[in-house]
Amino acid sequence: MYGMALQYLAERFQSHLEELQVPDTGIMIADSRLRNLDIEVALSHLSFRFGNPQGRLLDKIIEAPLFTHSQLTVGLQLVDIIGSCIYAYHYQKNCSMVGNAVNYSHIAQFWPYVNSRQFKSERLYDGYTRNGFRILDYQS
């Protein structure tokens, strides 16, 4: 499941880089899970990237994902916080009617900002748009 999620992330990141319309490349930096899992997922990504026709389309992403510990890097701590807001928003939107659902409405004040950062592709990919989250420009 984690490897598949990383493939989806890579496809969305590729779409974002393509639509910037500048000759940019990027690298994915992810929160470390377990050392063995990190290596397994990175190898799986490289296998997908070079051994699968869909993976070969990811030509703007440089090398395998870099895994690091979020406790050591402020950037990943921020991504963890934003990721929890994204999760809470979608959970509240899609699961609040389920019995014993967790109530995440206490962070609803952040959802408009998080949604404003959502990347929506301009072109269609296999007949569908792609959604993801844009790079946060902390300088503005």
Residue ranges of domains in the chain: 2-133
Cα 10 to its chain centre, rounded Å, is 8
Helix/strand/coil for 34: coil
Q: What is the mean pLDDT of the chain?
A: 82
Longest dimension (CA), the chain: 49
pLDDT at 136: 52
Say whether pLDDT at 13 is over 70.
Answer: yes
Say whether pLDDT at 130 is over 60.
Answer: yes
**pLDDT tens for each residue of 32-55:** 877 778 888 888 888 888 888 888
Say whether pLDDT at 9 is over 60.
Answer: yes
**pLDDT tens for each residue of 54-104:** 888 888 888 888 888 888 888 888 878 888 888 888 888 889 888 899 999
The residue type of 70 is S
Say whether pLDDT at 139 is over 60.
Answer: no
Handedness of CA 28, 32, 35, 38 (dihedral sign): negative
Give burial (CB, 10 Å; 0-12/13-18/19+) of 68. middle
Residue 102 or 113, more confident: 102
Helix/strand/coil for 62: coil
Say whether pLDDT at 140 is over 50.
Answer: no
- What is the share, in percent, of the chain residues with pLDDT greater than 90? 1
